[in-house]
Amino acid sequence: MEMASPQITNHSVWLEQAEARCSATGLDYIDILVEQAGIEQSLEHSLRQLSPAARWFALFDGTPEAESIEYSPMVIRLHFTLRGHHAWLEQLMAFFAGTPRLTLLISPLDFDLLSHHLQALSQVQWEEQTGLLRYYDNRVFPALFTHVLTDQQQAAFTDIVLYWGWKDRDGEIVWKTGTFSPEHRFADEPETICVDDEQVGLMGCISDAEALMKEKTIREMSLENYFARCLETAVRASDVGYFGPLRDFKE
């Protein structure tokens, strides 16, 4: 179930919603997933100055991408009851406003266990190759559920949280309800998601649709609806084996 609010540009409303949802579920903290690729300076320096100290983990740590650790997606646990954490979260949300780089997670899981599962979800196996699943990009995450992942693979994302939260292309707040259950037994070392040729092709379609959006500007519809149209075009082109410029594709 996904619930989107009217278009909102004020990040403080998102923070208020997050705090209210955490309080309603008995949690005094929130986990933040940050995509750092492309920012000028890693958040690590700022985090090390935070007092009291916050728990954080870089998803590339110990992976083939470890050499680019400064660009690693990072999960951070901040406590609402700690003034320094609350203020830092407000600054973080303001800094990343208008970007697809910030995702909120409301999860009762132990931080280390949650981090290991998020790290495992960022790696995919395709035949003999491994690659990144950039679900921590808000432009990619929803399309993975609607077009790419199997029900079992979707459960690997939803079972670990009560809510996923992000802002879509139109600046609207979206909360996706998770399927966390305290009775569920979580593996300490979760398995890597295995994808097939069709799924790899669909992931390519998501990237192609995003590129097509930048080539053509449509003003009479929302950005989310426009992306859906571009993705539909990319999928149809892929289905018929079209390899030319997507902007020129005609059925």
| 189-203 pLDDT, tens digit each | 898 999 999 999 999
CA distance 170 to 228: 13
Residues 204/197, Cβ–Cβ less than 8 Å:
no
Residue predicted with more confidence, 161 or 45: 161
pLDDT at 83 over 50: yes
Among the listed residues 17, 30, 37, the one whose alpha carbon sits nearest the alpha carbon of residue 56? 30
pLDDT at 8 over 60: no
> How much is the pLDDT for 245?
80
> How much is the pLDDT for 47?
92
Residues 125/195, Cβ–Cβ less than 8 Å:
yes
| 148-185 pLDDT, tens digit each | 999 999 999 999 999 999 999 999 999 999 999 999 88
CA distance 208 to 215: 11
> How much is the pLDDT for 122?
95
State the chain's maximal CA–CA distance in angstroms. 59
Mean pLDDT of 210-232: 88
Q: Taking CA 156 as the corner, what is the angle to CA 154 and CA 158, rounded to the nearest 5 degrees? A: 70
pLDDT at 26 over 90: yes
Of 2-11, 47-56, 84-93, 237-246, the one with minimum mean pLDDT is: 2-11
pLDDT at 239 over 60: yes
Q: Where do the structural domains in the chain lie, given as residue ranges?
A: 2-195, 199-240
**Token pair for residue 148?**
């790419």
pLDDT at 187 over 90: no
> How much is the pLDDT for 4?
42
